[in-house]
Structures are given as C-alpha cells and as structure tokens.
Structure 1
Amino acid sequence: MTLSPATRLLPRTYQPLFAHVEFRRLLPALAASDLGDGMSVVTVAWLAVLIAPGDQSGLVVGAAVAAYALPGAVGALVFGRLLRRLSPQRLLAADSWLRASLLGCVPVAWAAGVLHPVLYVALLAGSSVLHAWGSAGKYSLLARLLPPQQRLAANALISSSTSASVVVGPALAGFLATVVSPAWIIGLDAVSFAALAVQAARLGTRAEAVATAVPIDTGRSAAGLHLLRRQPELLGVLALTWFFNFLYGPVEVALPLHVTDDLHSGASLLGLYWTLFGVGAVLGALAAGALRRLPLWPVTLGIVVGWGLTLVPFGLGAPASVSVTCFALGGLIYGPFTALSFTLFQDRTPAAWLTTVLAARGAALLTASPVGTALGGPLTAVMGPRQVLAASGVATIALAGVAAAVRTWGKRRTCARPSGDL
C-alpha cells in the first residue's frame, strides 16, 4: 500500500502501522476519547464542587473522582463470565456506548436542574463499570489486527496519546470552562466515546473474522488464574507494574506539598512540574516503538530504576531548576513503560485468554495508585514531602532489584526442571 505524504513524515517504526486500514480508522477515535478523559480530569471534580452542599464539597469531590475510575475493578470481576465471551471489538464498543450514554446524561440532568450529587456519582460510577474490559478489548484488538512485530509500535502510539491527553486535556478544559459549564465539557467526553463506539463497530469484517478465528474462552474465571500461575512471567509483569504504580502514588501527594512547604512557591511551579513530566512522557512513549529489538524485560526494569533515580535529588535538597529537570527526565524515562508492559502481555498470553487476562490486569492496577496515594498523606505528615519523594525513588530502585533477582531465580529454577515438567 502506498503511504500518504503525511505518513512518510513519521519515523519508520510507525509507518507500517498505517498500512492497516482498521488501525488508521481506530487511532483518531481512540485519541479523541483520550482527550475527553483528559478534560474530565478537571471537570469531574469541578462540577462536583459546584453541585455539592455547602460544607460537603470534599466528600462529593472524593466520591466523584473515585466513581469515575474504581468501579471498573468491580466490573472486571462481576461481569467476567458474560463479557469474556465477547470479541475485543464488541467489548470496546460496549464500554464506549455505556460511557457515552451515562456521561451524556450529566449535561442533560444539569440543564434540567436535577443533577443531585447522588445522581452525579451514580452516573459516573455506572459509566466506568466496564472500563477495565474496554481497555482489555482495545489492546486485545490491536494484538489481533497487527502482526507481533508491530504491536510495540502500536502500543507506543496509544500510550503517547494517553500521555498527551494529560497535558492538553486539563488545559483545554480550563479554557472551555470560562465559556460553558463543566457539565457540558463532560458531555464532550460522552461524544468522544460515542465516536469511538461507532468507529469500533465500523472496523469491518476483518476485525470480526480475526476475532472468530481465535477460540473463545468458555471456562471459569479460576481458569484465568490457573493460566497466570503457569505463566510466572505474566505474574511478574503484573506484580512489578502494581508496585511501580503503588510507589508512584505518594508522589502525587508529596509533590504539591514540596512546592508549597519546601520551595515556598505556588500553583504555577506545580503546573510546570506536571506539564514537563507530561511532555516527557509523550516523547518517551513515542520512543518506545524503537525498542522492539531490545529485550523487553531488561528495558522495563531499567525504566523502573531510571524513574527512581530521578526522584532521589528531591531528598538531597536540589533547587527547583534541578528538580524540575529531573521530573521532566522522569517523564521521558517512564513514557515507554505502559507500551512495554502491554506488549509483554500480548506476546506471552494465548490469544483466547488475552481479554480475560488484560481485564484482570486492569482491575488489579486500579487499586495500586489510589492505595499509594492514600499512604502518601500520613507519610508526608510524618516524614515531610522532600523525604517522601526521595523514599519513593529509593523504594522504586529497590523494587527493580527485587524483580531482577526473582526473575533470575525463576529462570534458574525453570532450567533445572526435567524437560517433561511443565
């Protein structure tokens, strides 16, 4: 297939992806939904403040933010028997339609004057129930539509879209909120998911043909756990990612306090930290596509070590100019991690089980960062923000060391087994 002039401007790693018409159609819709979610980072909490009773804003904001994410873990477990029988294309469409429908009710209820906090939280919770399955469907669909050698590049593009939405989405939401209510901006998020649902349905016969060519899991959920027990590498990737996200959680608490208490600065400096981190993460995610020829596990562990090292200077009393640079570098180093993690799962998981395993992965990881964030509050109160940032970095470096040791031990144990022992 002849590439368009715009496609020729892309790095060679990504050019082959655009020879697949299904991928070319899906990517803009995925980017639009990422941008919608990026805007909702601001608008979900902002609207909660506007509709909360006078002295209950904190409670309503906390409930709204949690409802927009955490029910996905419940949905991954409760609906497993039903949803794991669906093709990845239909899982992605089902999650997108649900989010579009319920999020779309928010501006309607706002305009009608009936958006009570309980209704708002219920709509947000309902919209996220299938999100772990939707994410699993998305990455399973990519694995089925593209050859193995192109998966990392595709995952890198999807990951860079997510990272870019964290930079662009909140800024765009802030601009739009000067003109319209945040309820209408959530409505735009709903529209973006409706567009994704339509595009998923339009992928055509090839997506369905590839899906039906793969046997569908009809066993029990316990069989998925049995598969993971027989795939120590998958368990290792999941455990590493969980603890990596867990140790990141305290950073979200400690960094704002470091800016105010240690650096005696304000929101502009905090925004600079996160903006440069986001830009670095986008560039790092795009660079992941060039890592296909490298061994994925060592690179993944190197990313964990690198992120930890960028946090250590905070504990040494580094000036703002140095710590901002380190945080931007941290984003660049962290950027490829998500793409590499998903690629490891796609490469090591049997196709029939991929959506089930990825949904379980998503459900487990939904708990990691919130638990770390909850722990970050007490730790910061006891140790101070600068020390918490450094401790998070040191613990992350130690995590990579433990993971490397466990992996080495596991490989030696496997090599020592008789050849007939599975």
Structure 2
Amino acid sequence: MVRHRTLRRLLPGFALSSLGDGMAVVAVSWFALQLAPEADRGIWVAAAAAAYTLPGAVGALVLGRVLGHRSPTQLAGWDAIVRACALGAIPIAYALGALNTWLYVVLLAASSVLHSWGQAGVYTLLARVLPQQDHLAGNAVLSTIGSFCTVVGPMIAAPLIVWGGAATVIAADAATFAVLAATFLFFIPAKSLPPLPQESDDTSRSSGLTVIRRDTALLGLLVLSFGFFFFFGPVYVALPLHVSEEMRGSAALLAAFYTSFGIGALIGGMLTGYLSRWRLWPTTTGIVIAFGAAMLPIGFDVPNIVALASFAAAGVLWPPYSSLATTLFQRSTPPALLPQVLAANSSVRVLSVPLGTALGGPLVAGFGGGATLRFAAIGILLLGLVSAVGLAYRASAARRT
C-alpha cells in the first residue's frame, strides 16, 4: 500500500476520515442527549445513532441505477462531499441557534445516504490498482486503520467534548471528510485508474443484489456475513448488563472488555495480510467457527481474566473475517459490477447489526445478559459449522463433476 503511488495518496485522507468516524461514535449520541427533551432522550439517542448508519443501506439499494456505473473515485469522493456538507451543517445550525432534534437527525441521515457506495468505491479502487494476490493485504491495511481509529477516536473525542462541546467534534468529523473529498478530487483522478473491460450498459447497471443472487457462492457468502453480524448484534445489549448485574463489575470492567477487543482487532488486522497464501473460503468459514468458540466462555461464570482473554481472542478474528469476505467478493465479481456488489454487501452489514441489537433487547429482558451472550456465541458457532458442511459438499460435488 505504501509503495503504490495511487494508494499512498489515499492513506492519509482515509486514516483521517476513519479517525473522524471514531470520534463521532461518542459525539453523535452525546449531542443527541444535549438537544433532546429530558423525557425523550432515549428515543432521540437511538434515532441519532440509526440515522448515522441505516440510510446508507437504503442508498445502496435504491441508487444502483444512478451510481452503479460510476468510477470508484467518484463514488468515494461524492460520499465524502455529502458527509462533509451534511455534518458541517450541524455545528453551523447550532451556532445560529437553528438546530433542534429533528433537524439534527435529518442532517445525520443525509450524511450517510451514500456511505455504502463510498466504502464500495474505496475497496473497488483497491481492487482495480493492486494485483489480485495483494487484495487481502490491502484490505487488511484499511481494516487495521479502522480498528485503530475505533480505539483512539473516542479517547480524542472525550476531551474535545469537555473543551468545546459535541458540536466541535462533529465539526472536526466534517473537516476530516472534506480532506478525504479533496484527496479523491485532486490527488486520485478517475483518469489515473486502469480502464475496465467493456461491458454492456445493462450489465454495468445491474443491481448488486441481483448479481449476488445469480452466483450461489456469492449468495452463500452474503448470507454468512449477514448471520455473522446479526448474531453479534445482541452482544452490544447483553455485555453491559452481564458485566454490571451478573459479574458485579464496574464501568471500568466494561471499558476493559471493549479495550481488549480493540487491542485484539489491531493485532488481527496486522496479521491478516499474512493469510494471503491460505485458501480463502475454508479460512473464512474457520474464522466464523473460531469466533463463536472464543465468545462462548464470556456468557458463563468464569474469572474476569478468562472472559477478557476470550473477548480479546474474538477481537483478533474480527478484522480477518471482514478483509477475507471483501477479498472473496473482489475476486469473484466482474470488475464492472464490483461497486454494486460491494455496496450491497455493505448495506447488508449495516442492516444486520442493528437487527441483531434490536433482538438483544427482548432476549436480555427474558433470559438475562449471560444467556444472551451464550445465544450469540452458539448462533455464530452453528452458522460456521453449517457453512463448513456446505463448503465440503460443494468441494465434493466439484470433484465428482
């Protein structure tokens, strides 16, 4: 990545915008608390969090005919421009005294409409300029940057909120995307990319979900990804309650869980590039099985150090799965259709985690935090085992053919 002339120009802007998103994790919810009426704070915090992510899934599904044939630099650049403008409007409206909760949520939603396409543009760009054997290493670099910024971003956001308020952090987030937009507009022009093979107009405008549905391998990978992130969703609800009520722990222990996962993710991201010589399909399935097994002890009455080590081990496996799945999509999709397919894959991930989180609420209320964590771990483990059986069956059928 560092040696490649085009990608070397991308990395600073990508890292800065990832840091802005890491800071926004804290600022978006905190600003919603500040703006919302006291009686309705919970509703507005949930609405703000959803508005910052979910419209990206809708944009991926409904804007395919408009954006599917655009170059990856246009997709990523337009997403960065929209995010910079919409997020930048929030502190401006706040300074003018015109910001209320409704306008805040609308601007957050507007900022995320093109985000699935922006992510697809970045990974399509990587697939276009790197040889196939380097796709996994390139994906791992981007994943490692994202994991690092997820850990560091909230640590930077907290003192900024104390010093200048949540609006200051959102303004900084907008500025990071302005830098990313300038990167794509001025330093990585579309004409610098290698030309695509000729495709028919109808093919280039096909829906990403349509393309995936026609390919059983890609459809299986999409289902695996949906299930993996869906079953992880309840962890966001169950872990805090399990720590506070069943482990009798403090906020410091909960923070230790998230820190251990983040440290594990950094290690996993740095190790991912070395998996390029492994067979990608069996490795991806094995990671899902190992992730479920690593999560399983957390839901039981085990010593804190064992639970923390288990969560850290799950963190090590998190970036390799994302990078390997993206690499499989990159290698299995015609270049002209890659933006649509990656946008569809991104939209599925955006939808699956909130759906799983929503399921976590009634599960925790009915069975408790520990049981919900066990449910999530067993669900992921069984999903991986079913995928492994399907993979073995496909391999056997291919040998017979």
What secondary structure, in the 3-state scheme, does the structure 1 residue paired with 2:164 have?
A: coil
Mapped contact 1:69–1:366 kept (Cα < 8 A): yes
Mapped contact 2:196–2:335 kept (Cα < 8 A): no
Amino acid at match of 1:151: H
Task: Tell me the residue number matched to 2:324.
Answer: 340
Matches of residues 6-405 of structure 1 in structure 2 within 5 Å?
Answer: 17-204=1-188, 207-210=190-193, 212-215=195-198, 218-219=201-202, 224-405=208-389
What secondary structure, in the 3-state scheme, does the structure 1 residue paired with 2:202 have?
A: coil
CA drift of 1:202 comes to 2.5
Distance (whole Å) between structure 2 residues aligned to residue 115 and residue 182 of structure 1: 13
Amino acid at match of 2:222: L
Task: Tell me the residue number matched to 1:14.
Answer: none
Shift of the 74–25 alpha-carbon distance from structure 1 to 2, 3 Å rule, reads same
Distance (whole Å) between structure 2 residues aligned to residue 58 and residue 375 of structure 1: 17
Shift of the 316–117 alpha-carbon distance from structure 1 to 2, 3 Å rule, reads closer
Mapped contact 1:315–1:390 kept (Cα < 8 A): yes
Distance (whole Å) between structure 2 residues aligned to residue 261 and residue 380 of structure 1: 11
CA drift of 1:243 comes to 0.3
Amino acid at match of 1:154: G
* Identity score, percent: 43
Deviates more, 1:92-101 or 1:322-331: 322-331
RMSD, matched Cα: 1.6
CA drift of 1:252 comes to 0.8
Mapped contact 1:68–1:125 kept (Cα < 8 A): yes
Deviates more, 1:73-82 or 1:41-50: 73-82
CA drift of 1:416 comes to 4.9
Distance (whole Å) between structure 1 residues aligned to residue 200 and residue 152 of structure 2: 39
Distance (whole Å) between structure 2 residues aligned to residue 204 and residue 76 of structure 1: 23
Mapped contact 1:242–1:365 kept (Cα < 8 A): yes
CA drift of 1:251 comes to 0.8
Distance (whole Å) between structure 1 residues aligned to residue 139 and residue 302 of structure 2: 35
CA drift of 1:414 comes to 4.5
What secondary structure, in the 3-state scheme, does the structure 1 residue paired with 2:162 have?
A: coil
Q: TM-score, normalised by structure 2?
A: 0.96
Extract unaligned runs of 5+ from structure 1: 1-16, 418-422
CA drift of 1:318 comes to 0.4
Deviations 1:347-389 (A, max 9, x none): 1111010001111111122110111111111111122111211
Shift of the 49–217 alpha-carbon distance from structure 1 to 2, 3 Å rule, reads farther
Distance (whole Å) between structure 2 residues aligned to residue 111 and residue 350 of structure 1: 48
Mapped contact 2:226–2:348 kept (Cα < 8 A): yes
Amino acid at match of 1:375: L
CA drift of 1:224 comes to 4.2
What secondary structure, in the 3-state scheme, does the structure 2 residue paired with 1:265 have?
A: coil
Mapped contact 1:95–1:131 kept (Cα < 8 A): yes
Amino acid at match of 1:391: F
Distance (whole Å) between structure 1 residues aligned to residue 185 and residue 207 of structure 2: 30
Q: TM-score, normalised by structure 1?
A: 0.91
CA drift of 1:131 comes to 0.5
Deviations 1:115-139 (A, max 9, x none): 1111100100001000010011010
- Structure 1 stretches of 4+ moved >6 Å: none
CA drift of 1:45 comes to 0.5
Distance (whole Å) between structure 2 residues aligned to residue 92 and residue 78 of structure 1: 17
Number of residue equivalences: 400
Extract unaligned runs of 5+ from structure 2: none
Distance (whole Å) between structure 1 residues aligned to residue 299 and residue 44 of structure 2: 34
CA drift of 1:143 comes to 0.4
CA drift of 1:152 comes to 0.9
Distance (whole Å) between structure 1 residues aligned to residue 53 and residue 228 of structure 2: 19
Deviations 1:47-94 (A, max 9, x none): 001011231111111111100000011111221111112100110000
What secondary structure, in the 3-state scheme, does the structure 2 residue paired with 1:202 have?
A: helix
Distance (whole Å) between structure 1 residues aligned to residue 272 and residue 188 of structure 2: 29
Mapped contact 2:137–2:274 kept (Cα < 8 A): yes
Deviations 1:311-367 (A, max 9, x none): 221233102121011111110122311111111111111101000111111112211
Mapped contact 1:280–1:335 kept (Cα < 8 A): no
Distance (whole Å) between structure 1 residues aligned to residue 399 and residue 275 of structure 2: 27
What secondary structure, in the 3-state scheme, does the structure 1 residue paired with 2:201 have?
A: coil
Mapped contact 2:72–2:339 kept (Cα < 8 A): yes
Amino acid at match of 2:176: S
CA drift of 1:211 comes to 5.2
Mapped contact 1:39–1:185 kept (Cα < 8 A): yes
CA drift of 1:204 comes to 4.2
Amino acid at match of 1:113: G
